Amino acid sequence: MSQPAAAVFAAVFAALYVAHSVGDHWVQSSCQAATKGLPGWTGRLACGRHVLGLTLTKGLVLAPVVLVLDLPVTTLGLVLGLGIDAATHYWADRRTTLKRLADRCGQTAFYSLGTPAHAEHPVTAKGEYAPTIGTGAYALDQSWHVLWLGVAAVLIATV
């Protein structure tokens, strides 16, 4: 990767990372978050709507960065980068797919960390399950997404 491409990668990755955080947490509706992992068309459509909103958010954040910094990106690079990011995001957010990958990679216990399924789940003073957003499943989900943000940024910067 040439020096200019490395700079484009850095700027694109930063923009995608910011947009991912906003799109995955602020733009995604509560209904999408609750139903995107359900089996059948209910889950598929909810996940599709989430990924559409997320991808639009990434485009809206990336556009001014590309324009203001005059980054040499191509339409093909943008389509490939945002496309692979959207496809892999959808794949992981269907939940059963990421769980199977975690199981195959020996991460079953970590995946369940912070949930009632884990032997050492968080509890209240009364000994009842204490819900938390700090779960292993969430950490694996987000690290999966960041991996593909990196791939998307390389594609956008070099194609």
Total domain count for the chain?
A: 1
Please state the rounded mean pLDDT for residues 29-47.
94
- The DSSP code for 70 is T
Full residue range of the structural domain in which residue 57 is found: 3-158
Q: Does the structure show a pLDDT above 80 at 134?
A: no
Per-residue pLDDT reduced to its tens digit, 92-113: 999 999 999 999 999 988 888 7
Contacts 24+ apart (CB under 8 A), 2-8: 4/72, 5/157, 5/158, 6/157, 8/71, 8/72, 8/73, 8/156, 8/157
| Phi/psi at 93 (5° precision) | -75, -5
